[in-house]
Structure 1
Amino acid sequence: MSEQAPSPTLTAVADAPLLAVHDLSVAYGKIEALTQASLTVQAGEIVTVIGPNGAGKSTLLAALMGVLPTRQGQIQFQGEALGDSGVNARVARGLALVPETRALFASMSVEDNLRLGAFRFRRDASSLHQQALQEVFALFPRLQERRSQLAATLSGGERQMLALGRALMGRPRLLMLDEPSLGLAPLIVRDIFRIIEQLRRQGVSILLVEQNARAALKVADRAYVLELGRVVMQGPAAELADDPRIVETYLGLHSQHQDKLAA
């Protein structure tokens, strides 16, 4: 493995999507949670997946990360099939997932949590870790202020920043976010989505699963709607945001109220 941090915009096959998912199915026992789902993410894009609770959104991300086995279908990353490769192998290839639970080490400091995110560059821990750490601190100054604090002592918004920062320490080519706004105050949600937009400007490709459909469609380039484990709609995010069915189902008065609070 090269010890140089890879550029997030590089792809292995010219003109191939960064991520291509074909007819992916995932089951929990006899219950199929995801049925023949297909989607793509191009380099430099934000792609969002929206849908109701239980639609299979988190299942999709877990399968892409190798946490869950798939029943059928293919996942290609940078033009190459991931096959049965495990989580560590996918991290080494440039995928990163920030789960809904954030999965922080509560008894460790902020800085130690961050350094764990750079394990794929462990052969050159001194230079690459320090460079990545400074980049994360530049993006999240609050984490630098709290670098010695235990993760357990952070607020909800700070924990989400730490989870994002830890994922970014590995210099991912594709950052997958599972409900990054969950449980956060409106002002913090606004900050999180601003950071997501900033990451895209810096060349990080993002696959965003989010129940706050209005905010997700506002920042995304393209969107997929997942219902009962199936992709039922897809297209440019701006077009879906104006689609009457999406407006009625996902962008109702409650969502509008939340959006005003976050503005």
Structure 2
Amino acid sequence: MHLKTLSLKGFKSFASATTLHLEPGITCVVGPNGSGKSNVVDALAWVMGEQGARSLRGASMQDVIFAGTAATPTSPGRPPLGRAEVSLTIDNADGALPFAAPEVTITRTMFRSGGSEYAINGTPARLLDVTELLSDTGIGREMHVIVGQGQLDAVLHATPEERRGFIEEAAGVLKHRKRKEKALRKLDTMQAGLVRLTDLAAEVRRQLGPLARQADAARRAQTVQAEVREARSVLLAHDVALAQAALEADLADEAAASARRAELEQRLAAARAALATAEAAERAAAARLAP
């Protein structure tokens, strides 16, 4: 595995698109002071995920974007650009990177508005994805493969504990340390959630007594209400039966009265007929007895 190309556009002094081809072995960048040699190193650190503006010799991260040049008698000058973009292509023919491709290109873009984007082989990615991708290779942004001015003296004068940290990080221990820290943060979050859950469980248990009593009272009330409804139904059924019996008795009495009335009316008609007959006989007798 080796770095193949480094492409810069709008990054610091590289206003125009520039591609550096890095052959296997030693690659040297030479030039006078102020020509941008350090900007190449900054671009390497930046595309691999460097987040500190000071490490890139700037006051803010937007300082990596080409700020423009003033016009001179011999040059018309150039306006500032709106974004900076750096792409690093790595030869992955040996499969050193955990990525199914013979070449892996990491791209980082910074906009003057403050937004930042990462991409791996053209696919949008996160900083965490880039860090995970490079963690097994020893070339990540925190792997001490980029030694800037003044850092060599710090390494030479480091304490044994600091040197041990440098060696561990160069050996790829940083990835496992980061994973450990991430796992510990998750454990802390889970522990906080467990404490909260324990508090909620204790609060629920504290409320269970009154709630249980209320539930028991509600069950008893439901039983009493059911018994009351059943008693009312029985009473209503009894009242209906009594009313039905009374109605039937009244209907029977009414039928008997109707029959008695019909009988009396027949007797009355017979009596009237007998009276009419007697009156007719009386008139006939009176007519015969008259002189």
Which has the higher relative contact order, 1 or 2, with Cα contacts under 8 A spaced 6 or more apart?
Answer: 1
TM-score, normalised via structure 1 length: 0.32
Question: Could you say which structure has the higher strand fraction?
Answer: 1
Larger radius of gyration: 2
